[in-house]
Structure 1
Amino acid sequence: MQAVVVHEFGGIDRVSVDERPVPAPGKGEVLVRVGAVAANFVDTIVIAGNYQFKPQLPFTPGKGPAGTVAALGEGVTGLSVGDRVLAMAEIGGYAEYALAPADQCYALPASMSFEEAASTSLAADTAWFGLRERGRVQPGESVLVLGATGAVGIAAVQLAKAFGAKVLAGVSSMAKADLVREAGADAVIDLSRENLRDSLRDQVQAETGGAGADVVLDMLGGDIFDAALRAMAWRGRLVVIGFAAGRIPSVKANYLLVKNIEVSGLQISDYRKRMPDLARRCFEEIFALHGEGKLHAPVFRTYPLSQAQDALAALLDRGVKERIVMTVETNA
């Protein structure tokens, strides 16, 4: 089979497309014939060797491939060869065939293509856990999504709206305002204004009658995180999801006490491993909302697997707005 292989850690120039043997599923595993897999920023961190775990070299990167079940390992029940699934593998997805734990394979609805499933994975599930589990959002509350034009951000806007919240979408430029409005945002928060420390709070309070945001999802960190803390409502919950702005912020605990607010973190893969039943419920709701037309897969651009390096370069190009999805020609 064709597979993207990393022989040494480094930049995306270190990846190559090689011929590799088709792996055999072990106990509790499923072999998936890949139809599509998203290129995720976290994959470039894994390729660089800077992720929280380092795969043994050589390895094939790629999280969350979508495809059909090709073979079942010992002890696997509830799945059959030929089933269409989203397989939340940690690595190995950039290939014609990939292994995944059976309890992290989720049956796809007929309405969702492999490309849509791949585009949705690691975005909608992250947003779901940020809102449902860590943020405990309730109907009628206000949700501030920072980095709202990214894949997780757009999913969070759509999901928060579906959950009955008032959605405030934070954007780096008002030129991107239409994108988040189309996703369902009730208001747009301009993160490019001067004196962000005050301007972010003032915008949020103007949209919430002075109350502030009940839930904040932060994919950015840095100065934006600092400003968002000041824009939170009493008993507000801020969920740390990433640090795309660069600086990892810190919090003074007395500020949490005085405002009665919470700051928590979200590492999505831990939930799939530690709470698989909750992860399954997450995907069931995501797929149901997609079927109801309340959740749309991010707009994506496709590349064949053979052009993996080009796909990764497009992923790292800040001018590219679409989600990058690699397809396997033989499975089209």
Structure 2
Amino acid sequence: MKAVVIHDFGPVGSAPVEDIATPEPGRGEVLVRIAAVAANFVDTLVLTGKYQFLPQRPFTPGKLPVGTVEAVGPDVADIKVGDRVLTLAEHGGYAEAISVGADQCILLPDTLSFPDAASMALAYDTAWFALMERARLEKGNTVLVLGATGAVGLAAMQLARAKGCRVLAGISSAKKTDLVRKAGADELIDLSGDNLRDSLREQVHSATDGRGADIIVDALGGDFFDAALRALAWRGRLVVIGFASGRIPEVKANYLLLKNIEVSGLQISDYRKRMPELMRQCFVDIFSLYERGAIAAAPPTIFTLSDYHVALTGLLERRIAGRAVICP
């Protein structure tokens, strides 16, 4: 089978596509013929050796591929040949097939296509854990999403809206207005103006009758985090999911105390390893919302395996609308 193989870390595109042996499913494992896998920003960190969790080389990158079960190993009871599944694999997705534990497979709804399933993977589960587990979202909360036009940001807005919350979208360009409105934004928060430290809070307070946001999901960090912290409501919760702006911010603990607010972080890979049953519950909820029409996958732009570097470069240069999906 063909697979992207990392022998040495290097620039995006330096890992070759090679012919390697198709894996054999071991005890408790299944062989999945991969139909689609999302190209994610985290993959660029893996390829360059900058990600915090890296397997021994050589290895194949690619998280949470989807496909059809082609063979089952001994002691597999709940998954059968022909099942359409999402795998919770941490790597191995940039390939034509993968062998994974049967307990790491989640059945896909019949109505969910493979490209759409790949489009949702790693974005909707990250957003779900940020909102439901870390921020303890409740119906009626006001949720501000920073980095609203990214994959996780769009997913977070859809999920928050589906759960009965009011959604504020932090955007830096008016060109993104239609995109975030379609994802469920009730109000827009302009992040491009002068004096962000004051203007962000003023806009959020204006949109919430002076209360502030109950929950803030922050993928930007830097000055955006600093400003957002001041826009939290009493007992508000801010969840850090990334630092796209570059600077890793700091917070003075006395400010948390004075406002009775919380700041927490989310590393989604840890949940797949430590709490797989909660991860399964997450996807069951996501797929249920999808089948009810409450959420929708971001439109995928399809790439071949040999063009994986084109997909990742497009992500880095922000030239891809929706999600970049590789279909081996």
Band of TM-score, shorter chain: over 0.9
Q: Say yes or no: does 1:9 pair with 2:13.
A: no
TM-score (normalizing by structure 1): 0.96
Describe the superposition over 1:280-331 as per-residue Cα deviations: whole angstroms up to 9, x where unpaired: 1110110011111111101220011122222222222223223110112xxx
Describe the superposition over 1:150-181 as per-residue Cα deviations: whole angstroms up to 9, x where unpaired: 11011100000011110001112122111000
The separation in 2 between residues aligned to 1:13 and 1:33, in whole angstroms, is: 23
Matched-pair contact (CA < 8 Å) for 1:7–1:58: yes
Give the equivalent residue in structure 2 for 1:111: 111
The separation in 2 between residues aligned to 1:25 and 1:245, in whole angstroms, is: 42
Matched-pair contact (CA < 8 Å) for 1:157–1:167: yes
- C-alpha displacement at 1:30, in angstroms? 2.4
What does 1:251-266 correspond to in 2, within 5 Å?
251-266=251-266
Residue identity over aligned pairs, in percent, reads 62
Describe the superposition over 1:68-111 as per-residue Cα deviations: whole angstroms up to 9, x where unpaired: 11222333331111100011210100000012332221100011
Give the equivalent residue in structure 2 for 1:41: 41
Secondary structure (helix, strand or coil) at the match of 1:158 reads: helix
- C-alpha displacement at 1:141, in angstroms? 1.0
- C-alpha displacement at 1:63, in angstroms? 0.4
- Once structures 1 and 2 are overlaid, which stretch shifts more, 270-279 or 213-222? 270-279
Amino acid at match of 1:101: G
The separation in 2 between residues aligned to 1:99 and 1:61, in whole angstroms, is: 14
Secondary structure (helix, strand or coil) at the match of 1:13 reads: coil
- C-alpha displacement at 1:27, in angstroms? 3.2
Secondary structure (helix, strand or coil) at the match of 1:6 reads: coil
- C-alpha displacement at 1:113, in angstroms? 0.5
Give the equivalent residue in structure 1 for 2:54: 54
Secondary structure (helix, strand or coil) at the match of 2:36 reads: strand
Describe the superposition over 1:190-240 as per-residue Cα deviations: whole angstroms up to 9, x where unpaired: 111110000000010011110000001011111000100000000000011
Give the equivalent residue in structure 2 for 1:78: 78
Amino acid at match of 1:141: N
The separation in 2 between residues aligned to 1:247 and 1:102, in whole angstroms, is: 40
Amino acid at match of 2:126: T
Describe the superposition over 1:215-272 as per-residue Cα deviations: whole angstroms up to 9, x where unpaired: 0101111100010000000000001111111111111110100000000111112112
Amino acid at match of 1:57: R
Matched-pair contact (CA < 8 Å) for 1:30–1:71: yes
Give the equivalent residue in structure 2 for 1:241: 241
Give the equivalent residue in structure 2 for 1:197: 197
Matched-pair contact (CA < 8 Å) for 2:301–2:320: no
Secondary structure (helix, strand or coil) at the match of 1:220 reads: coil
The separation in 2 between residues aligned to 1:153 and 1:52, in whole angstroms, is: 22
Give the equivalent residue in structure 2 for 1:325: 325
The separation in 1 between residues aligned to 2:234 and 2:89, in whole angstroms, is: 39
Secondary structure (helix, strand or coil) at the match of 1:129 reads: helix
The size of the alignment, in residue pairs, is: 328
Alignment root-mean-square deviation, CA: 1.1
- Once structures 1 and 2 are overlaid, which stretch shifts more, 309-318 or 92-101? 309-318
- C-alpha displacement at 1:186, in angstroms? 0.5
Give the equivalent residue in structure 1 for 2:99: 99
- Once structures 1 and 2 are overlaid, which stretch shifts more, 54-63 or 237-246? 54-63
- C-alpha displacement at 1:19, in angstroms? 0.4
What stretches of structure 2 of length at least 5 have no aligned partner? none
The separation in 2 between residues aligned to 1:104 and 1:246, in whole angstroms, is: 33
- C-alpha displacement at 1:3, in angstroms? 0.6
Q: Say yes or no: does 1:282 pair with 2:282.
A: yes
- Once structures 1 and 2 are overlaid, which stretch shifts more, 53-62 or 79-88? 53-62
The separation in 2 between residues aligned to 1:171 and 1:237, in whole angstroms, is: 20
Amino acid at match of 2:217: L
Give the equivalent residue in structure 2 for 1:221: 221
TM-score (normalizing by structure 2): 0.97
Matched-pair contact (CA < 8 Å) for 1:137–1:215: yes
What stretches of structure 1 of length at least 5 have no aligned partner? none
Amino acid at match of 1:249: P
The separation in 1 between residues aligned to 2:275 and 2:39, in whole angstroms, is: 25
Q: Say yes or no: does 1:164 pair with 2:164.
A: yes
The separation in 2 between residues aligned to 1:226 and 1:26, in whole angstroms, is: 49
The separation in 2 between residues aligned to 1:170 and 1:189, in whole angstroms, is: 5
Amino acid at match of 1:104: Q
